[in-house]
Amino acid sequence: MSASSTPGHSRLTKAHKLSISGVATLGAAALAFSLVPAGAGETETVVSAAPVAWTQVVDGAQTKAVQQNLSVQHVVAAKAASDAAAKAKAKAAADAKKDREQKTAASRSATRTPVFANNLDGWIKEALFIMKREGIPGSYHGIHRNVMRESSGNPLAINNWDINARNGIPSKGLLQVIAPTFKAYHVKGTKFDQYDPVANIVAACNYAADRYGSMDNVNSAY
């Protein structure tokens, strides 16, 4: 019997042999690829690691930028807080200065207000002090002259016999002022009392200024 007819054996054609040879060649190539020298492997590792290193560089730059931004914001916030504190301090200082000036002015005003004697001379002088402040004309001589004619210097003087008395509004005080006149020409800051000597003089002089130009121009009953 021939070899081709021997049981348990297969016949390998030329094509089969070439196929086997090709597979062996590919296997060897695969084995050779798997046994690449250490240097070649390091080159491959470097190439695959490069994107990771680039990502780390980018992340580092971003972190630095964020840190710089936060640093700038901190500086801006610190300056704003410093400016606000300085402004508040300046306002407090200005308010304190204004308060001191007002107290000083009040103190000076109180200091400049003279003390007047409780007599005819003092009443006239105090009345003139108030009249000057209020812009009411009149002189010491003019007031004194009319006071002496009207009441002889008695602040409680009252006329109970003239036409005003008969009408129920008697003349009262140093310059014999009737109630309607006193009420109309009363000067704020003085007592609302016809018998008060200073209030009486100031109201009478205010009336005389309105009607005659000044108490100095009054030489008789007015």
To the nearest whole percent, how much of the chain has pLDDT over 70?
71
pLDDT confidence bin for 208, thresholds 50/70/90:
very high
* Whole-angstrom distance, CA of residue 26 vs CA of residue 24: 5
Q: For residue 205, what are its two tokens?
A: 């002089």
CB 214 within 8 A of CB 137: yes
For the stretch 61-109, pLDDT in tens is 777 777 778 788 888 888 888 889 988 999 998 988 888 888 877 777 6
CB 200 within 8 A of CB 155: yes
Mean pLDDT of 13-27: 45
CB 128 within 8 A of CB 122: no
Of 137, 156, 147, which Cα lies nearest the Cα of 175?
Answer: 147
DSSP single-letter state for residue 3: G
Q: Cα dihedral angle (53, 56, 58, 61), rounded to 10 degrees?
A: -130
Report the range out of 31-40, 105-114, 190-199 with the highest average pLDDT: 190-199
Predicted local distance difference test score (pLDDT) of residue 69: 80
> Tokens 């695969």, residue?
30
* Whole-angstrom distance, CA of residue 147 vs CA of residue 141: 10
What are φ and ψ of residue 172, in 5° steps? -135, 155
The Cβ of residue 162 has, within 10 Å, a number of other Cβ atoms equal to 13
For the stretch 46-64, pLDDT in tens is 444 444 454 555 567 777 7
CB 130 within 8 A of CB 198: yes
Strand partners, 177: 172
To the nearest whole percent, how much of the chain has pLDDT over 90?
48
Predicted local distance difference test score (pLDDT) of residue 10: 44
Count Cβ atoms within 10 A of the Cβ of residue 151 and give its class: 0-12 exposed, 13-18 middle, 19 or more buried: buried
For the stretch 176-199, pLDDT in tens is 999 999 999 999 999 999 999 999
